[in-house]
Structures are given as structure tokens and as C-alpha cells.
Structure 1
Amino acid sequence: MRVLITGATGLLGQQLVKECHTKGIDVNYLTTSSDKLEDKENYKGFLWDAKNKEIDATCLKGVHTVIHLAGASIAERWTDEHKQAIIDSRINTANLLFDLLKEKENMVDHFISASAIGAYPSSLETLYTEEYPEYNPSFLGDVVNVWEQAADQFEEIGLKVTKIRIGVVLAENGGALQQLIKPIKIYVGAPLGSGKQFQSWIHIKDLANIFVHCMEQKLAGIYNATAPHPVTNATLTKTAAEVLNKPLWLPNVPEFALKAALGDMAAVVLESQKVSSAKIQGEGYVFSYERIEKALDCLLSTK
């Protein structure tokens, strides 16, 4: 089996490549940098440039599934320019892949796109399933809406389409967890805002394996990629401090201070999405890290 991955050199992409290789799945990947090209039997790089609509069509050789992870980071200040880059980077790359698959002979029958739980409106009470009918009326919801529409177009050329709504990714090197523990390690950690907002998290190993599971089982539709037991921001912060054996003594960081520091991007840490994992579990996926304590013990034990 061979898969084509965009965003393969990013945080999730690297873990996904690792899990694919563990299962004997060969990887083709697309990159914008010639310095990142490798040419191994199980890991082959190809160039693309979405801005100029250029892509090496040989990237499709032997490929049956495309996994699309590429997109500008939402963890940068949301200037008007960067907001547009967040949207364009997802739409333009998807469109380039669509045009390639439509125009060139290939064996691809499955398109899997990253998405985000920012699709769901902020709520302290609602447990969100994939059947929830409305998108979040914020910028995050707008991003997910157009992101998933870009994925849906692949159905027009006969492909199964899977959209994986990703929660707060916990990883050892990078991602949300590293930002969380920085202040804790220097004794200035504190919950954010009220601390009551739910953060539906997932260990990066489970996240990568959900992508592999959807590929192997040929699952189509929307799937939440979050651990079975979401926690509040206060619980996440407290548990991380306990694992690191650091005290929390400061009051919560006020919402107004976060908005002053982060602008609109404060929504990433202040919005609350309590998200269900029941659907992917119903399709046979078994989580390695169901509870936050085990996940943080794994990721922070050497910190």
C-alpha cells in the first residue's frame, strides 16, 4: 500500500509517516522545498507550488489514498493577512490536488482531509457529535466550513471522502502542550480565562493512528479525533503541573488579558468544545490514551 501525504514534514505529518511505516505502508509526500526531498523506496518526496499551480504528477504513482494535512498554522497572530493565508493555504492546495486527480490517470479512490473541532460552536454544556448541523459562527467555524467544502469536491470524481476533525493535539515536541508547560515550568502557570472551557484533546500517536485506521477501513464521512474524556482548561493545567511536580499559585489569566495579548486568536484557548469520540470508537478504533493523566505521564515524564 502507498499513500500520498501533504504536510508530511509537520508535527502530525511526521508522526503519521512513522505510523504508516510501522504498518508497512509506503509514503509519497509533497513539499514546497527541494531541501526536504528524499528518495527512498518507502518515503519519496515530490515538489508542488499551490500559488503557481504547479505539482509533480508522478507523486500519484502507486497511490490509492491521499491524506491532506497542509495548511498555514492557526497558532500565529490573526492579522487580516494571516487569516486569509489560513483559508487560502487549505483551499488552494486542495484545489490543486483535485485538478491533478481529475486530469491525470491514477488509482486514487480515497481522499482524507484534516479538519478541526473548531467546527463546533463554543459551549460549556453541549456534547458535540459529528451530526451537529451548524458550524461555529466564528472565524474558526468559517475556516472549517470552507476546508470541508474543499474536501467534499473529491466526491465529484468518485472518491470516498473522510474529514477528520482534530482536537487539541498533545505531543512531546511542539504543539499546544509545549505552550502550556512553558509558564508552568517557570512557576507562572495558571488556567486561562474561567478555566471552565472544555478542551477536547488527543495524544498525537492516537491522532496519527486514527488517520491510518480510516485509510485501512476505507471509512467515509466526518470523524472526530479527540480522546474519549475531554477535560476543562483548569484540569488540563492542573494535571500538567502535577506531572511536572510544579505548583500553581497564580490566579487565572483574565479573558481580557488574553484578548489584549492575542487578539482574535484568543478564541483558540477561550472557546469550549466538548466533543464525542463515540463514532470512531464504533468503527473499531481503540485509543491508546483515553485519559489525560496517562497521556501527560507519557509526554512529560522526561521534561
Structure 2
Amino acid sequence: MKILITGGSGLVGTALTEKLIEKGYKVNWISRSNKSRKDVDVYQWDLKKAYIDKEAFKGVDAIVHLSGANISANRWSETYKKLIADSRIETSQLLFDSVTKYNIPLKTFISASAIGYYGTFTSDKVLTEDSPPGNDFLAKVCIEWEKKAKQFQTIGARTATIRTGVVLSNKGGALPQITKPIKWGVGANLGNGQQYMPWIHIDDLVNIYLKCIENSSMHGTYNATSPDSITNKKITKQLAKYLNRPLWLPNIPKSILKLILGERANLLLEGTRIFPKRLLNQKFSFKYSSFAEAIVSLF
């Protein structure tokens, strides 16, 4: 079975590629760069030119669409917000247009999405895949992103979207940024610390994608978050305890973070409980069901 991955050189794409190859799958990447791997065939695509190398689709059974600009990498100028949106929404459209143009008999299309679909706010309410979408910037991006994925249903492809939480990995992503100030002895709660951080261990996320590829009954939307709901305050406390570092600073005020980070500060200051109802209904077994277990495995 051959899998085509977009965003293959990213944090999740790299881990998924390694898992698939380990299990005997053939993997293609489509990429904007000329990066190459001995065990992966890499093909070019260009969003501005609406171009994907036709050879990328040869023999492909499933596409896993992980491409998307990093939402935490830069201040959210209007230009960068457009990049965040286009790198998800317009790339999805380009994939669909190319698959239909080349008459590719695609069996499965799996797209990343994000828990940003539900909006950025703090609440003790538990949200599931049935909960309504939000109305802020990221929610609107996710809504359109998922609409593009659903187009693949019209050509008979089994389609699924994975609404992903904060990915924990020791190879990049959020965890090194969260732990850095704590390691330096200057860790503190963000805002009031009561906001939740729906998280997922990189190994569990890879296994979710693998299960979705292999299980023909999986379609629709899945929350890729641990069942363990935990607040920023508890995360900070657990990390400090594990790293044997003191927590002596007062909470960092919201106003300071918003001054430094602008609109994207809300990613750190807000968060609600997201529950993986549909994954559990599929009997998915989380390897790391508690935050404490996850951090032990990553240090």
C-alpha cells in the first residue's frame, strides 16, 4: 500500500513516515523544497502555480494531508494569517483538483485539522466532535479546511479529519518551548493558569493516523486529544516537579503576553476541555493517557 503525505518533513509527518515505513508501507512526499530521503520518493508542488507533479500520485492508495504553516512561529500579521489559511485550505483544494484532473482512483483521504475548530476560549465544559464550531480566526480556518477535505467524498474516497490538540514531542513543537523557562528556573503560570491545554503525545497521534489509514470503518471527524484534561497551572506544576525546579514567580499577566505576542497570545491564555469521544468509540487505546506518563516518556 502506498501513502502520499503532504507536510512529510514536519514534526508529525516525519514520525508518521517512519512508522509507515517500519510497517512496510511505501511513502511518497510532496514538498516545496528539494529535500530528499533514501526511503521516500519526494515530488514537487507549487501552490502559486497550482501545480503538483503527476508522478506523486502514481499507485497511491491514500493521501494524508498534514501541510500547514506553523501558527506559533510568527506574530499574526494579516499577511501571516493569510499564509496560515492558504497553506491549509488552498493546498487541500489543489490536492482535490489534481486528483480529479489526473483521474486518480483514490481510496482514502485523511486531513489534519485542529481543535481550534471549536474556538479559543476557556471553559470547564467538555467538547466532543458534535460540539459547534467557534467564530474566531482559527475556527474559521478549520471550518473551511474541513470543507475542502469533504470534497473527496464526492469522488468515492473514504474521508476523515483529525482535529489535533497540542502535540507533545521531544523533537520539536510545543513541549521544548513550555519547558525552557521552567528549566531555567523562571517558569510561571500563564494568565490565571485555569485554561486547559488539550494535548496529545506524538506516538498516540501517529497511531491515530495509522488506525485511520488501516481501518476502513473510520470516517468523519476525530478529536486527537488525550482524555486527560489538564490546566496550564497543573502542567506547570507537574513539569517543575519532574524537572526539580522551583516555581517562585507570580503568574504572567494576560496583558503582558498580549503585548508581546499579539492575537496569538490567546493560544496560550485560553483553552477548554476536548474529549476524543469518537476515537474511544472506535476502541482506540491511548499509550499515554495521563500528562505525567507522557512527560516521563519524553525526557
Deviates more, 1:2-11 or 1:139-148: 139-148
Task: Write the mapping of 1:78-227 to structure 2, written as runs, cut at 5 A.
Answer: 78-121=76-119, 122-132=121-131, 134-218=132-216, 219-227=218-226
Deviates more, 1:91-100 or 1:3-12: 91-100
Match of 1:57 in 2: 54
Task: Write the mapping of 1:267-286 to structure 2, written as runs, cut at 5 A.
Answer: 267-286=266-285
Partner of 1:248, secondary structure, is: coil
Question: What are the superposed Cα offsets for residues 89-117 of structure 1, whole Å, 9 maximum, x if unpaired?
Answer: 11221111111110113231111000000
Deviates more, 1:116-125 or 1:82-91: 116-125
CA distance in 2, matches of 1:103, 1:39: 29
Partner of 2:110, secondary structure, is: strand
Match of 2:9 in 1: 9
Contact 2:89/2:141 (8 A) holds in 1: no
Match of 1:261 in 2: 260
Residues 1:47 and 2:44 are matched in the alignment: yes
TM-score norm. by structure 1 comes to 0.95
Match of 1:30 in 2: 30
Deviates more, 1:68-77 or 1:276-285: 276-285
How many angstroms does 1:22 deviate by? 2.3
CA distance in 2, matches of 1:113, 1:265: 23
TM-score norm. by structure 2 comes to 0.96
Contact 1:120/1:273 (8 A) holds in 2: no
CA distance in 2, matches of 1:113, 1:278: 18
How many angstroms does 1:163 deviate by? 0.6
Contact 1:39/1:45 (8 A) holds in 2: no
Match of 2:231 in 1: 232
How many angstroms does 1:39 deviate by? 5.2
Deviates more, 1:252-261 or 1:16-25: 16-25
Match of 2:245 in 1: 246
Residues 1:18 and 2:18 are matched in the alignment: yes
Partner of 2:287, secondary structure, is: coil
| Uncovered stretches (5+) of structure 2, i.e. residues with no partner | none
How many angstroms does 1:155 deviate by? 1.5
CA distance in 2, matches of 1:106, 1:143: 27
CA distance in 1, matches of 2:286, 2:124: 24
How many angstroms does 1:38 deviate by? 3.5
CA distance in 1, matches of 2:151, 2:103: 18
Question: What are the superposed Cα offsets for residues 144-193 of structure 1, whole Å, 9 maximum, x if unpaired?
Answer: 11111111111122211101000011110211111101111111111111
Contact 1:37/1:46 (8 A) holds in 2: no
Contact 1:95/1:150 (8 A) holds in 2: yes
Structure 1 segments, 4+ long, off by >3 Å, are none
Question: What are the superposed Cα offsets for residues 21-65 of structure 1, whole Å, 9 maximum, x if unpaired?
Answer: 22222211111112x13354xx21111111111111111122111
Question: What are the superposed Cα offsets for residues 200-236 of structure 1, whole Å, 9 maximum, x if unpaired?
Answer: 1110111111011111102110000001112001111
Residues 1:70 and 2:67 are matched in the alignment: yes
CA distance in 2, matches of 1:258, 1:190: 12
Partner of 2:193, secondary structure, is: coil
How many angstroms does 1:273 deviate by? 2.1
The alignment's C-alpha RMSD in Å is 1.1
Q: Which amino acid aligns with 2:106?
A: V
Q: Which amino acid aligns with 1:104?
A: Y
Match of 2:292 in 1: 293
CA distance in 1, matches of 2:139, 2:103: 35
CA distance in 1, matches of 2:240, 2:41: 41
